[in-house]
Amino acid sequence: MKGKLILEDGTVFYGDLLNDFKATGEVVFNTGMVGYQESLTDPSYCAQILTLTYPLVGNYGIAELFMQSRKSFVAGFVIGDLCTDGSNWHYEKSLAAFLTEQKVPCLYNVDTRAITRHIRAAGTMKGIIVSEKAAKDAADALMATPIRREVVEAVTTPKAYDMECERRGAPFVVAMDFGVKQNILDSMHRKGFRLKVVPAHTTAEEVLAMNPDGVFLSNGPGDPADVPEIAAEIKKLFGKKPIFGICLGHQLIAIAMGAKTYKLKFGHRGTNQPVKDLRTGKVQISAQNHGFAVDAASLEGLPLAVTHVNVNDGTVEGMRHKELPIFSVQYHPEAAPGPDDNMYLFEEFRAMLEKGE
């Protein structure tokens, strides 16, 4: 079946539809050459139509081992070549079967690099995936459908759960799940943390009642300004427990401190973003997936010091409180594209907790 991606500005890209599902969402792109399953199941892509720049997708299939959440939350998937024969010793099913099972609309045989060039020039925008013969009024109605904003509520864990650690004296951390990737939790667990993962709207009082050694604030989808109630709860934790935030967690720390965030023109999504640690001058390669950033100017006068910046555009990639044991990064240290450039951040958090800072 022939289909098309229609962008909000009227630009149309044609391809083939894998299934008869329709989609509406913010159209974004990822520049990674591998990791399509991790991207498809990363909750940070909730309500977005994900476009991959690398042309060959599906060549190693799908395996439960690489799921980053309980399901795929993407609104739609746009790719070049859809490979139906996966070659991988972990292979369990084809990408096509997974997309159909997850009810993810997929448009393939598309020039995704042309889409990327367009978005880079015009900025991220809304789009829809429909059949080529879709009636204009039906397409107009789909385009008029608002993009879901309650995305954190959609992706967070419905109930708290534990990840025990056999390591004696393991620091106990409450991980607030705003759309956490499984690999983040696994990385922390391997580094010797005992975790209790809790829903996004768990109150500060409930967190403190668990008496953790520290609190972790996860990545997640959407505009941080859409969840002021979560930022308000985070603010109540300042000075009570050491805190480490990643991505959305990083942005929410900034908002809770009185800073502002803003929407990037086309976001940072990929596995090759260079980040400079201003404390050491060292540059590390990072994986990133975010459409918003902390406004550096809004940090002036606040007790937050910028510790990391993006080498490409100078945006804030890390912060540390000048007095309290609170730090955060905008990027994803667990994805390890370097391959292990940024795992030291989990070690810093553990050392902070073990010192009782």
**pLDDT band, very low/low/confident/very high, at 186 (cuts 50, 70, 90):** very high
pLDDT of residue 322: 97
pLDDT digits (tens, 9 = 90+) for 32-73: 988 999 999 999 999 999 999 999 999 999 999 999 999 999
Tell me how far apart the alpha carbons of residues 220 and 357 are, in angstroms, rounded to a whole number.
27
pLDDT of residue 86: 87
Our answer to whether residue 46 is catalytic in this structure is: no
Q: Tell me: domain 152-354, CATH 3.40.50.880, correct?
A: yes
Our answer to whether residue 354 is catalytic in this structure is: no
**pLDDT band, very low/low/confident/very high, at 342 (cuts 50, 70, 90):** confident
Please, are residues 15 and 4 in contact by the beta-carbon 8 Å criterion?
A: yes
Q: Is the pLDDT of residue 132 over 60?
A: yes
Query: How distant, in Å, are the alpha carbons of 24, 77, 138, 141 from that of 144?
Result: 9, 20, 10, 5
pLDDT of residue 335: 61
Contacts (Cβ under 8 Å, ≥6 apart) of 169: none
158 CB burial (10 A radius; 0-12, 13-18, 19+): exposed
pLDDT digits (tens, 9 = 90+) for 81-131: 999 888 999 999 999 999 999 999 999 999 999 999 999 999 999 999 999
Strands (E), the chain: 2-7, 12-17, 23-30, 48-52, 56-57, 76-78, 81-82, 106-108, 125-131, 161-163, 172-177, 194-199, 214-217, 243-246, 261-277, 283-294, 304-310, 316-321, 326-329
pLDDT of residue 239: 96
**Span 176-198, mean pLDDT?**
95
| Single pTM value for the model | 0.95
**Angle value at C-alpha 260, between 257 and 262, nearest 5 degrees:** 150
**pLDDT band, very low/low/confident/very high, at 334 (cuts 50, 70, 90):** confident
pLDDT of residue 167: 82
Tell me how far apart the alpha carbons of residues 130 and 219 are, in angstroms, rounded to a whole number.
30
Q: What is the token pair recorded at 183?
A: 């690999």
Our answer to whether residue 106 is catalytic in this structure is: no
pLDDT digits (tens, 9 = 90+) for 229-281: 999 999 999 999 999 999 999 999 999 999 999 999 999 998 889 999 999 99
Q: Is the dihedral of CA 206, 209, 210, 216 positive or negative?
A: positive
Out of 250, 268, 308, 332, the active site residue is: 332
Q: Which residue has the tokens 């555009």?
A: 313
Pairing status of strand 304-310 against strand 316-321: antiparallel
pLDDT of residue 173: 97
pLDDT of residue 271: 85
pLDDT of residue 272: 86
Out of 247, 250, 290, 317, the active site residue is: 247
Give me the architecture of the 2-147 domain, per CATH: 3-Layer(bba) Sandwich (3.50)
Q: Is the pLDDT of residue 339 over 60?
A: no
Please, are residues 309 and 338 in contact by the beta-carbon 8 Å criterion?
A: no
Question: Cis omega before residue 171 (within 30°)?
Answer: no
Please, are residues 158 and 199 in contact by the beta-carbon 8 Å criterion?
A: yes
pLDDT of residue 165: 86
Tell me how far apart the alpha carbons of residues 27 and 309 are, in angstroms, rounded to a whole number.
26
SS3 content of the chain, % helix, strand, coil (to 5): 25, 30, 40
**pLDDT band, very low/low/confident/very high, at 144 (cuts 50, 70, 90):** very high
Q: How far is CA 290 from its chain centroid?
A: 6
Question: Cβ atoms within 10 A of the Cβ of 71, count?
Answer: 14
Domain spans of the chain, in order of start: 2-147, 152-354
**Angle value at C-alpha 126, between 67 and 297, nearest 5 degrees:** 85
